[in-house]
Amino acid sequence: MRFLSLISTNLRRHRLRALIGVAGIGFGVAAMLAILAIVTGAIGMFERILSTDSHYLVFERNVSDLFFSSVTTEQVRDIRALLQVEAAHPLLFGIVSAAGNPVVTCFGIEADDPRLVRGDWRAGTREQFGKTPDEVYLGARAAEFLHAEFGGTVEIGRGTFKVGGIFKNENGFEDGGVFLPLPAAQAFFHREGAASVVAVKLRDRAQGAAFKTAVEAAHPGVIALENREFSQSYNSFKILNFTAWAVGICAFGLGGLGVANTMLLSVFGRIREIAVLRVCGFSERQVAALIFGEATVIALGGLVVGFGLGLLLLAVVGHMPQFNGYVQARVEPLVVVGIIVTALITAVAGAIYPARFAARIQPAEALRYE
Amino acid sequence: MSRRGELVVKARDVSKTYDQGRIRVLQDVTLDVGAGEVVALWGASGSGKSTLLHLIGGLDTPDRGTLSVCGLDPCDEASRTVLRRRHLGFVFQLHNLIPDLTVEENIRVPALAAGRGVVETAARVRELVGQVGLSHRIRHRVQDLSGGERQRTAICRALMNAPRLLLADEPTGSLDEQTGGAIFGLLKELAARERVAVVLATHERRFAEACDRILRMRDGQLSEI
């Protein structure tokens, strides 16, 4: 018999109790995985919207959210005129509601925008984009949930528009979005002459620093950030990430209490047995290791259950029509490692008191009353 | 109080009280046990036999006096663990086996504590169960065994790490007369074969008389008969 088989025997003896501990950690893992994967996926989608075929993002300095950023037409023109710039694509974000859909993202773009070039066109052509007034183009998912057809009309916000084209886009936000010519979007959202952000593609990426200096010197009111730099510093991403980890860790906190309860009941239920182990030569450290080992096995079980449950949940959410394709979960290796480490720490932390209690059991006391 | 050269137990003026000194259990007990010697602590229930065994085994600490077991101080935590792992074996009235473990697994517990090798442990288990006639029950769970079989398993467990001293606290106390006699005979036979000293706490005169020496416990005091 090895140490592990003693651990396994102890857990098997009280299956229900052990399963409650496993379930506690499992729910924590599933919650954390689902929340983080959804948030990471959402951030990833948003990053891809911004960084489509570009190296730098230019937006208004000191704004709390890109939706409030204004880069003027003159600034866009000056950026385009810089030697380092191969292409600059202004993009205006807007949120509207439509019947049965409280949140529909609108994108004001120009006709040569890479999104239109990359799109898998289901109806209409990108060459017609912006040529007919009061026309919008829809992502394929948006066409589905807005029940819109090519050539028909669609009500968005307070306006009625003709559907000029439908195209499939790999990005969930864009596929569920409404695309308007930039001037039409500016008029619709009362943001005349403004773009939220400008995605800039450089002729030579090595000239990034020179580009940044030139833009910020000419227009102190805007900031130019490399895509990676933007992702790391954008407040909304930080808040989303922090919230996701905080909620996940709270879920784990509950799981940890479950493990503590399981291990405590387990120790109280076999005080005499632990005394016998001490009599047989187990040191305090070995007894504590036994309890920590049991908690670790519970955590490992919880991880297996939690990852299974979490992935199932993500698969279900990803296919739910209510989410309009906005959920594109992304399970990153760092998140997986973070969850595993958190689960193990939670289980071990939950076992600290039971292990201390078990290690300090006095054999004579425990065995005195036969 | 020993007739042999090397001492495995050396107790000097050991006293123990409970309930903040109100209950005096042992009074100035002095005891020597030589290597391989079988000593009976004979006395009525509550006379202090178990307490003395617990002190010798490091399960409890004396209020006064000194103790040396196999050259180690059982009052010191580090020495106590070494003592229990290498030099001591315990047999209790109620076998105190771990339920849900098999006979073999229970016997292996001390080897697990001592970190002994798997092959060596397996050979030792086979040897011990063969000696007590439990080879056919080795894979059985202890709750499926009779009282006598459980006590034989407990004896094997106590001898697993080839201790120098076996502390047996009323090992026949929960068994019928015939089974108790058999267990006692087995214990003595194994002790002789393994060259283990035994301190046996018993209230039964017939078992005490079969030991090398009888020490009578009365009101916490020890006297040789």
* β-bridge pairing A153-156 and A194-195: unpaired
| Residue A191 sits in the same domain as residue A82 | yes
User: Could you give the count of Cα atoms lying within 13 Å of B62 in the half-sphere of its Cβ?
Assistant: 24
pLDDT for position B123 = 94
Please count the residue pairs, one from chain A and one from chain B, whose beta carbons lie less than 8 angstroms apart.
69
What pLDDT sits at residue A189? 92
Chain-wide mean pLDDT for chain A? 87
Assigned domain for B210 exists: yes
A76 and A160 belong to one structural domain: yes
Domain span holding position A308 = 3-45+237-368
* Residue B109: inside a domain: no
Q: Which residue has the tokens 């403004």?
A: A194
pLDDT, position B2: 47
Read off the pTM.
0.72
Q: What is the mean pLDDT of residues B87-109?
A: 90
Q: Do the Cβ atoms of A52 and A114 come closer than 8 Å?
A: yes
A196 and A275 in a common domain: no
Domain count, chain A: 2
Q: How far is CA A218 from CA A214, A221, A247, in A?
A: 6, 9, 43
Sort out which chain B residues have CB atoms less than 8 A from A281's CB and list them: 81, 84-86, 110, 113-114, 161
Summarised one tens digit per residue, pLDDT across range A284-303 is: 999 999 999 999 999 999 99
The pLDDT confidence band at residue A322, using thresholds 50, 70 and 90, is low
- Alpha carbon distance A207, B99 (integer Å): 74
Q: Is residue B91 part of a domain?
A: yes
Please report whether residue B20 resides in a domain.
Answer: yes
pLDDT at A370 over 50: no
Of B77, B86, B94, Cβ closest to residue A370: B94
Task: Report the pLDDT averaged over residues A308-316.
Answer: 91
Min Cα distance A280 → chain B (Å) is 5
Alpha carbon separation from A68 to A65, A220, A233 (Å, rounded): 6, 17, 17
Number of domains in chain B: 1
Choose the final residue of a domain: A220, A252, A279. Answer: A220
d(CA B92, CA B148): 13
Q: Is residue A201 part of a domain?
A: yes
ipTM value: 0.88
Nearest chain B Cα distance for residue A316, angstroms: 41
Return the CATH number at B47: 3.40.50.300
Backbone φ and ψ of A224, nearest 5°: -115, 125
Q: Is residue A230 part of a domain?
A: no
Q: According to the model, what pLDDT value does residue A51 have?
A: 67
Beta carbons of A363 and A292 less than 8 angstroms apart? no
Cβ-count burial of B193 within 10 angstroms (0-12 exposed, 13-18 middle, 19+ buried)? exposed
> Within this chain, do residues A40 and A117 fall inside the same structural domain, yes or no?
no
Among candidate residues A42, A37, A149, A60, the one with its CA nearest the CA of residue A105: A42
Does A190 share its domain with A319?
Answer: no
Amino acid identity of residue B164, one-letter, is R
Residues on chain A touching B143 (C-beta within 8 angstroms) = none
- Asked if residue A225 belongs to a domain, the reply is no
**A32-41, A258-267, B26-35 — most confident range:** B26-35
Q: What's the confidence (pLDDT) of residue A108? A: 95
Q: Is the per-residue pLDDT at A319 higher than 90?
A: no
Does A241 or B129 have the greater pLDDT score?
A: B129
A278 shares a domain with A165: no
Do A155 and A95 reside in the same domain of the chain? Answer: yes
Average pLDDT of A80-85? Answer: 94
Residue A173 structure tokens: 């936000």
Reported as a pLDDT band with limits 50, 70 and 90, residue A325 is low
Q: Is residue B36 part of a domain?
A: yes
- Interface residue ranges in chain A relative to chain B, Cβ cutoff 8 Å: 1-3, 5-6, 9, 12-13, 272-273, 276-284, 286, 362-364, 367-368, 370
Question: Are A182 and A115 within one domain?
Answer: yes
* More reliable by pLDDT, B116 or A365: B116
Structure token digits, residue B55: 């002190």
A256 and A318 housed in the same domain: yes
Q: Which residues span the domain enclosing B58? A: 7-96+163-224
The shortest CB-CB distance from A280 to any of B54, B104, B109 is to B109
CB contact under 8 A, B59 and A363: yes
CA atoms within 13 A on the CB side of B42: 19
